[in-house]
Structure 1
């Protein structure tokens, strides 16, 4: 009888240990690891796998505390494209083994926060999972062609005053001239995106030169801020499918074009945006025109009066934008080149 009780108690303890080692939220308990394939992590979605590669590049640079001069080299590191390859879920993040590379990094662990919206929710801790958001009262303001040494700081003061965050798509050659302003953009809680090195039409320069434009700007932004930009906005909105595949970053377009560059008229900018903007829209403006920056306070106040929440692109898209796809609004996306 005593032996039966002892066996029963042993089974209970073993089951308890097993339960403790399993985390029902999907996160890995301390000391517990789980091997998974990229097919499982992404549900066989190549765009999700490209997002993992994007996060891996950032992690390699961070782990090596690499200088900006090494950004181009990180795109030469061979990262997984085969869905059958495996990685490990650990308490700290997704651990990946790397092939021999110039960084001499054999293994990286990508924090789960960097994989939010990129891998399936069930493989993420609760704190890093995406949840359904209502976008009918959300609008993302975006500003192209900066940073400008005078106007961008003025705009940042306006955003801070009204407790609003926006997304800035910056030109690499300007970032290299005014890195402190790019840092200030991020310090204010805003987002930075890549808007090419010197604003060419990608359709006219081809895939190779387009890739160089993007990587050169990524280098400038990384040099200025210590982080790679997540998004790309192609000048004039032009990008081919091949360029989208090569870039391996989500492409952000717009659903409301203020055409502020054409008007250079503050009241006209206000009228155009207030007439056309609806919930879920991405609004295109520029922070290199004084008239546009002057219009922003009134635009913010009027949109707020209508009940709109002004958010970053990441917030509007619920952190689920993926490489190879282009996004026009909260619920409007398609493959690059279409």
Structure 2
């Protein structure tokens, strides 16, 4: 009897532990390391491979706690360009070996969260896989040329009030002047993209100077926020195919131009956006014009009244943007420069 009673207490204790999950192995601990080629990860898609290189640069900077001055150097680290090269799927992410580099890093592990929409779903944990979304009632508000020391904080208050998020394409010179505001943009759940250093027409300055504009701005944004921007929006929407390949960041254009820069009129801004906006659109505005910022509350309220959900560019495009491609809306993308 005593032995049976003892066994019963042991069984109850084991059951309690199992229910609480104490002492049990997490699901990912059962995952074994698996070697894969980049061709397998990307289905031999060069744009996906470029996205992995983009994520690798961010991870190198993070892993080494690098300062902004190292942003240019990370672009020179030799990263895989051949589909036959191999990496390892681990419980924590994609592990890659690196060739000799100035950062003296031999190996990095890119978290799967940074590869969502970039590698094929079957190589990602279920929580990081993309799923089909309906964009019929989704739009993305975007604002160019900031941050402005007065107007951008005002706009951020509006976004917070109406519980919506936007994507800000900022110039490097304004980020360097207003780093706290750049941080506030991200702190509010919004996104920051690269809009060049001082707004030149890329088509007129050539590939080398275009890359310099982007790198310099990436450095300013990284210096201010601790993260590299994923997207680039070329000033005036102009970019060549060669520049798109050299930049190795997704290009974000727009499908609705508010023309707020031309009108400088609150009412016209509102009417232009409301007349042209449909589901899946990317709306272009500017947070350096008082009239545009003043128009934002009405635009947001009217769009929401029509049943639209206002989201970031990443959300609208389902996290599937790739370097070398330019995106005009939820279902409209082309090779950069075309």
TM-score, normalisation: structure 1:
0.92
Q: What residue is the counterpart of 1:118 in the other structure?
A: 118
Q: What residue is the counterpart of 1:154 in the other structure?
A: 154
Q: What residue is the counterpart of 2:74 in the other structure?
A: 74
Q: What residue is the counterpart of 1:197 in the other structure?
A: 197
Cα distance in 2 for residues equivalent to 1:108 and 1:186: 25
Is the counterpart of residue 42 in structure 1 residue 47 in structure 2? no
Cα distance in 1 for residues equivalent to 2:312 and 2:31: 36
RMSD of aligned C-alpha atoms? 0.8
Does the 8 Å CA contact 1:28/1:89 hold for their aligned counterparts?
no
SS in 1 for 2:169: strand
Q: What residue is the counterpart of 1:184 in the other structure?
A: 184
Q: What residue is the counterpart of 2:12 in the other structure?
A: none
Q: Deviations over 1:7-29 (max 9, x none)?
A: xxxxxxxxxxxxxxxxxxxx964
Is the counterpart of residue 311 in structure 1 residue 311 in structure 2? yes
Please give the residue correspondences for 1:140-151 in structure 2 after superposition, counting only pairs within 5 Å. Answer: 140-151=140-151
Q: Deviations over 1:207-230 (max 9, x none)?
A: 000000000000000000000000
Cα distance in 2 for residues equivalent to 1:177 and 1:295: 25
Deviation of 1:30 (Å):
3.8
Cα distance in 2 for residues equivalent to 1:28 and 1:78: 30
Q: What residue is the counterpart of 1:128 in the other structure?
A: 128
SS in 1 for 2:206: helix
Aligned length: 312
Cα distance in 1 for residues equivalent to 2:28 and 2:51: 21
CA pair 75-241 structure 1, distance change in 2 beyond 3 A:
same
Please give the residue correspondences for 1:1-338 in structure 2 after superposition, counting only pairs within 5 Å. Answer: 29-30=29-30, 32-338=32-338
Deviation of 1:179 (Å):
0.2
Q: What residue is the counterpart of 1:14 in the other structure?
A: none
Cα distance in 2 for residues equivalent to 1:37 and 1:31: 18
Q: What residue is the counterpart of 1:10 in the other structure?
A: none
SS in 2 for 1:63: helix
Moved over 2 A (4+): 27-31
Q: Deviations over 1:59-106 (max 9, x none)?
A: 000000000000000000000000000000000000000000000000
SS in 1 for 2:39: helix
Structure 1 portions without partners, runs of 5+:
1-26
Cα distance in 2 for residues equivalent to 1:315 and 1:261: 26
Cα distance in 2 for residues equivalent to 1:221 and 1:209: 18
SS in 2 for 1:169: strand
Cα distance in 1 for residues equivalent to 2:90 and 2:213: 36
Q: Deviations over 1:233-283 (max 9, x none)?
A: 000000000000000000000000000000000000000000000000000
Cα distance in 2 for residues equivalent to 1:142 and 1:239: 19
Does the 8 Å CA contact 1:142/1:169 hold for their aligned counterparts?
yes
Cα distance in 2 for residues equivalent to 1:136 and 1:230: 25
Deviation of 1:31 (Å):
5.7
Q: What residue is the counterpart of 1:22 in the other structure?
A: none
Deviation of 1:32 (Å):
1.2
